[in-house]
Amino acid sequence: MNEEIFTSNVIDTIVTFVGIREYLVSEFLNPYILDRYNGLKRVVFFSSTEESDEDAEIYKKSKEILQRISQEVEEHRSDVKIELILLRNIWDIKTCLARLSTIKATKASVNITAGPSSFSVACLLWAIENGHFIEHSVETNNRLTGKVVVFRRINVVPYFKSIFALDNIDKEIISFLKEGSSISTKIRQYLRNIKHFELTLRTIENRVSKLNEDGIVKISKGRNNIIDLSDDFKKLS
């Protein structure tokens, strides 16, 4: 299951590795394939080739899971295209990233939980570069229902922009907003009185506007615009 509220018409492609943990694939897929009106167009499955698996039983099991999962998608979503990408070397990040880069998607969501660590890293890099979402699972055990798997969808781009694309002033604005929402005049006072940056109110507003465009902050319009860190950024910061 996925705990996000799906406005999934923005997700046209979902990507997952299919290995030997079937539930980590099926639980990721279910919210997408059970809703016929969410705009999904493509499901991309990654898996290993027979040559890449040292254990014949592991390869046989993953192949059987792949067949079952594919049939399930076809039964529920005959309108969705299924693509299969087989990897000879599942442990090479560069190879995984190169194959991910062949996927043409407007907005994708990738399951980073079901595959090997190399695939997860490649998915993270691909998502950052192209502005896609990642999804990871949180597993709990319930005495009544057994294992419960919840997938969380995250947009990682705002967080990485906050690390690599901002100067010290923008980082100070973010640091200030971590204490709670505020307005432009109070941000200016903080920068001037505490951090000794003398900036005009217009400059502050322009910087906040750019942070909003980058998905790092959100602005609630009103008599005094309330500025807060975005929900995507708060998930990781």
pLDDT tens for each residue of 194-224: 999 999 999 999 999 999 999 999 999 877 8
Give, in degrees to the nearest 5, the angle at Cα 173 between 172 and 177: 115
Closest CA to 45 of 82, 99, 92, 2: 82
Q: Judge whether residue 64 has pLDDT over 80.
A: yes
Distance CA 140, CA 149 (A): 7
pLDDT at residue number 9: 46
Neighbouring CB atoms inside 10 A of 111's CB total 25
Q: Which residue has the higher pLDDT, 144 or 44?
A: 44
Q: What are the structural domain ranges in the chain?
A: 8-154, 159-234
Distance CA 1, CA 28 (A): 7
The correct CATH number of 159-234 out of 1.20.1730.10, 1.10.10.10, 1.20.1260.10, 1.10.357.10 is 1.10.10.10
Contact indicator for 135, 154 with CB cutoff of 8 Å: yes
For 10-28, b/e burial (b = at least 16 CB within 10 A) is: ebbbbbbbbbeebebbbbb
Q: Judge whether residue 81 has pLDDT over 90.
A: yes
pLDDT tens for each residue of 118-138: 999 999 999 999 999 999 988
Question: Which pTM does this prediction carry?
Answer: 0.79
Instruction: Name the phi and psi angles at 83, rounded to 5.
Output: -120, 140
Contact indicator for 17, 55 with CB cutoff of 8 Å: no
pLDDT tens for each residue of 124-176: 999 999 999 999 988 777 766 666 778 888 888 888 888 887 899 999 999 99
- DSSP assignment, residue 79? T
Q: How far is CA 20 from CA 62, 63, 116, 147, 200, in A?
A: 5, 9, 11, 17, 58
Class of 8-154 in CATH: alpha beta
Give, in degrees to the nearest 5, the angle at Cα 65 between 64 and 70: 100
Distance CA 178, CA 231 (A): 12
Contact indicator for 174, 207 with CB cutoff of 8 Å: no
Closest CA to 154 of 174, 188, 131: 131
Give, in degrees to the nearest 5, the angle at Cα 164 between 133 and 93: 55
